[in-house]
Amino acid sequence: MRSPQRTPRTQRIRLSLSDLAFVFLVSFVVSAQTPALAQTSGPAASGYRRDPGVTASAVPAPLREIGFDQNLDHLVPLDTVFRDEGGRTVRLGDYFGRRPVVLLFAYYDCPMLCTQVINGLSSALGVLSLEPGKDFEIVTVSFNPKDTPATASAKKATYLERYHRPGADTAWHFLSGDQSSIDRLTKAAGFRYVWDAQTKQFAHPTGVIVLTPEGRLARYLFGIEYGPRNLRFALVEASAGRVGSAVDSLLLYCYHYDPATGRYGLVIMRAMRIGGAVTVLTLVAFIVVMLRKERHAAALS
């Protein structure tokens, strides 16, 4: 019986690399056909989440009434009339049409949560490379009809010292209005709050809302601290890619907004597909380089 003919070393390398590339390619194609992991979905998230072990009767009455109803993709009433910090009568739509808008509700003499919400937003915005007035607008609306342009102006001055980015003075707006305007906008945005007669304060949820340039409710971010990544992704999505970079669009393919948490989470299967594609391309490039070196060496011999 004849012994099998030996394969030259260079040929063995070629076959080994080809086989390995084939395995990676098949793995990538198979993974691409696998459905993405199911995303968490659920009812509209509330700014207040009750502990499952606590009965409804044990929760203070005001807290049972507050929260966010996520009216995603709904239009807010852009013709609603308010007063800006300079006392001018404005329409909500004056701040829309060109770029996405970050909307937050806060009354200007709030001793606790409202301040924390604005602090959290200004901190997150300070980290972003996006520019106010160019990439987005910020609209703060008081839900206390007793607020005035004077209280709005004082609040704005405080936060311009904290968020001192170029363009912030003309891109961050502090509005006040009468009860009918407040009710119209808060209802459309799904912002539920109540007056607590016992504490003589408003009970309200905490969070910010990102809207499209057309005025559609796009993303709700909950709490008093907002991850810069979540805020950036929300602005990029709300702008339909007109804000941000190609890298943002690529990352958004790997991340998914979860309405139940108001955050972006990594989609494992999508990340694996991109990782597989990068691996295959790298491997193919390596094979091409090796084959060229082999042919060059053969031509010299």
Q: What is the pLDDT of residue 79?
A: 98
Q: What is the pLDDT of residue 299?
A: 73
Q: pTM here?
A: 0.69
**Residue ranges per structural domain of the chain:** 9-37+269-300, 58-263
Report the CATH superfamily, name and number, of domain 58-263.
Glutaredoxin (3.40.30.10)
The contacts of residue 35 (CB under 8 Å, 6+ apart) are 269
d(CA 182, CA 151): 16
With a cut of 70, which residues of the chain have pLDDT below it?
A: 1-63, 244-256, 266-281, 284, 301
* 270-276, Cβ contacts within 8 angstroms, sequence gap of 24 or more: 270/36, 272/31, 273/28, 273/31, 273/32, 274/250, 276/24, 276/27, 276/28, 276/31, 276/32
Q: What is the pLDDT of residue 252?
A: 62
